[in-house]
A and B are shown apart, each in its own frame.
Chain A
């Protein structure tokens, strides 16, 4: 079990640039989550998918953020254009989708927007 795989581990970009974060969930997991961690707000849910379908994107901060899950083994989180306040650690997590099953997190992408 390779766990949830995120790439890149670190991303440094300039304000206004497009950023794409990638995630490969654990095989067989039906639910996928994108979280953002900041000092001020802790871990906040951005969006989650069930069976590749976005269920709740109310946590997505602005239209600059978008997420896709084209198949069961891949998801992306895109920020366009990026801003310095987007700097944070972005985590992807997956779960079996069974009620109260724990989330399995990737190691995160640390994004710095200058």
Chain B
């Protein structure tokens, strides 16, 4: 039973367009959400996060949106660049879980030049 779900294993986008990666969660106790980015043969690196008291957080080309009622979050990358091609992991944590993140299976993003 996956508590954090990334239902799209892969996404292909043209350079310059918007990339939208989606994530759903089932545990209503989750109150902090993170996105990690992973290149081949490397470990995941932290990208951006959002607290449940917010519905949007922006950092440069990256914006995360949170819809608590739908238990859904999304990562928007605009404009997409070929260097953004990587696997993106959604993660969620809860105070009751000692803030240890639970990860989704990841979405592989390919940005075509």
Contacts and interface: CB of A to CB of B under 8 A. Distances in A.
Interface string B33-71: 010100001111110010100000000000000000000
- Pick the most buried of A35, A45, A102: most chain B CB atoms within 10 A of its CB: A102
Nearest to A105: B43
Contacts of A103: 36, 44, 46, 101
B43 A108 contact: yes
A45 B43 contact: no
Given A48-B100, A103-B101, A105-B44, A42 B32 contact: no
Contacts of A55: 98
A1 B110 CA distance: 30
Contacts of A102: 34, 46, 49
A41 B104 CA distance: 9
Given A42-B105, A45-B100, A45-B102, A93 B46 contact: no
Interface string A2-45: 00100000000000000000000000000001010000011111
Interface in A34-62: 35, 41-45, 48, 55-56
B10 to A, nearest CB: 13
Contact of A107 (B36, B41, B46, B106): B41
A4 B43 contact: yes
Given A43-B106, A100-B99, 10 more contacts: A41-B105, A42-B103, A43-B105, A55-B98, A56-B98, A91-B44, A100-B49, A102-B34, A105-B43, A105-B44
- Pick the most buried of A99, A100, A108: most chain B CB atoms within 10 A of its CB: A100
Nearest to B93: A100
A102 B36 CA distance: 9
B43 A106 contact: yes
